[in-house]
Amino acid sequence: MSKVFDVNKIRQDFPILDRTINGNNLAYLDNASSSQKPRDVIQCLVDYYENYNSNVHRGVHTLSMEATDLYESARGKVSNFLGATDPNTVVWTRGATEAINLVAFSWGFKNIGAGDAIVVSQMEHHSNLVTWQLVATRQKAELRVVPLTENQTLDMESLADSIDEKVKLVSICHASNSVGSINPVKEIARKAHEVGAKILIDGAQSVPHMPVNVIDLDCDFLAFSGHKMLAPMGIGVLYAKQEILESMEPFMRGGDMVLEVWNDKATWNSIPNKFEAGTPNVADAIGLGAAIDYLTEIGMDNIRAHEIELTDYALQKFNQFEELDVYGPTDTSIRGGILPFHSEYVHPHDIGTILDQEGIAIRTGHHCTMPLMRSLGISATARASFYIYNTFDEIDRLVDAIEHTLRYFSTGKK
């Protein structure tokens, strides 16, 4: 492992990891849901509210100008982090969900019509599925859902068959929150562009965990959430190519997104402000900037390498549980740090509750991927998910706790 990557040192930056839960040290393995926050990010929020708090963009006083500088500099950090060439291609949203909805309402309703098609996959989070159901239904377009292979990777042959001249948009996750599969989004972008379609990448599970470069991927839209990458809740990003953003109508109307207003009409501000109506989430945007500083200092390659090591280790350990079905590819070069499992003998909620008694936080349920669960013939899984501060020791604790749980429920062998 890289010298700069010292997990014990990293853990000291996260105050919450000192907590005990039910008398045990917290093992936080619910990172796909939301990550914990380092002291730098927490302190950045305190600093903002103690020293800079003010509304942005419209003040001539010092605080407002300082707040505006910090806020716009955070936008620049996001832009650099994504390899974008212009900070104005970064639009603040509340999160990935709002970013996808922004594209649906501002771009989708204008550019997708009767007889057109939208391509998604069977592994999409509901936010990247129900949004396109709405567009398809209202516009009388077809929604094509690409199935998965036996080990829950994207069926690339079906994908190729689904992308034809009718397709206006391919909207696909970079990495699945539910089964961990990483999709070859660069190749998918190329296929979409060959037929003149646009591609939206749902980066909610990739941007926090691996290097993502929007120019290299040649994506038209990228959506992600700050809270899954050490930043506060309530801040997220839509990146889009400049010419596409310029061509889009605003999503919401209100202050700051207008240039000039008359009683009966208005003209729109330039990008990205055109899409940022009302007082924005200044503090949390600056907090996302601090989170990006923190991640960048560790290095996204190092973070990805650490998560691969943890996932390889966990997958190997889970081999001992014949009673469990573990989903997702075993090849960790195409898998994020996500470990979903299911036993026909113990309900996932029971597993989650017993693990909590031992201080281990995992998520149980359908993970906002009900159609995916249905395709697997189950209604829920238990899911452990890893991040920069997780350790091999925590995986050992997870494995021991599952072993106790299975023994407690006296499961038979398959």
Ligand X SMILES: Cc1ncc(COP(=O)(O)O)c(C=O)c1O
Q: What is the distance between the alpha carbons of residues 104 and 305, in angstroms, rounded to a whole number?
A: 34
Q: What is the distance between the alpha carbons of residues 323 and 54, in angstroms, rounded to a whole number?
A: 56
Binding ligand X (rule: CB under 6 A), the pick from 102, 104, 188, 204 is 204
CB of 181 to ligand X, least distance (A): 11
Instruction: Point out which span in 17-25, 80-88, 122-130, 184-192 binds ligand X (CB under 6 A).
Output: 122-130
- Binding to ligand X by CB under 6 A, coded x per residue (else -) over 211-250, reads --------------x-------------------------
Q: What is the DSSP letter of 33?
A: T
At a CB cut-off of 8 Å and minimum separation 6, what does 187 contact? none
Give Cα separations from 160 to 83, 109, 120, 132, 165 (angstroms): 28, 25, 12, 20, 12
Nearer to ligand X, 227 or 306 (CB): 227
Give Cα separations from 194 to 62, 157, 271 (angstroms): 50, 16, 27
Q: How many residues bind ligand X (CB under 6 A)?
A: 12
Six-digit token string for 263:
């009683």
Nearer to ligand X, 128 or 405 (CB): 128
Given a contact cutoff of 8 angstroms between Cβ atoms, the answer to whether 176 and 205 are in contact is yes
Binding ligand X (rule: CB under 6 A), the pick from 96, 290, 310, 372 is 96
Nearer to ligand X, 162 or 177 (CB): 177
CB of 177 to ligand X, least distance (A): 3
Q: Is 368 a catalytic residue?
A: yes
Six-digit token string for 315:
């997958």
Binding ligand X (rule: CB under 6 A), the pick from 68, 89, 97, 111 is 97
Q: What is the distance between the alpha carbons of residues 388 and 373, in angstroms, rounded to a whole number?
A: 28
Q: What is the distance between the alpha carbons of residues 315 and 31, in angstroms, rounded to a whole number?
A: 17
CB of 355 to ligand X, least distance (A): 20
Nearer to ligand X, 95 or 272 (CB): 95
- Binding to ligand X by CB under 6 A, coded x per residue (else -) over 9-48, reads ----------------------------------------
Q: What is the distance between the alpha carbons of residues 341 and 328, in angstroms, rounded to a whole number?
A: 9
Binding ligand X (rule: CB under 6 A), the pick from 37, 57, 125, 397 is 125
Instruction: Point out which span in 121-129, 274-282, 322-330, 405-413 binds ligand X (CB under 6 A).
Output: 121-129
Which of 240, 260, 249 has its CA nearest to residue 93? 240
Residues that bind ligand X (CB under 6 A): 95-97, 125, 127-128, 173, 177, 202, 204-205, 225
Catalytic residues: 368
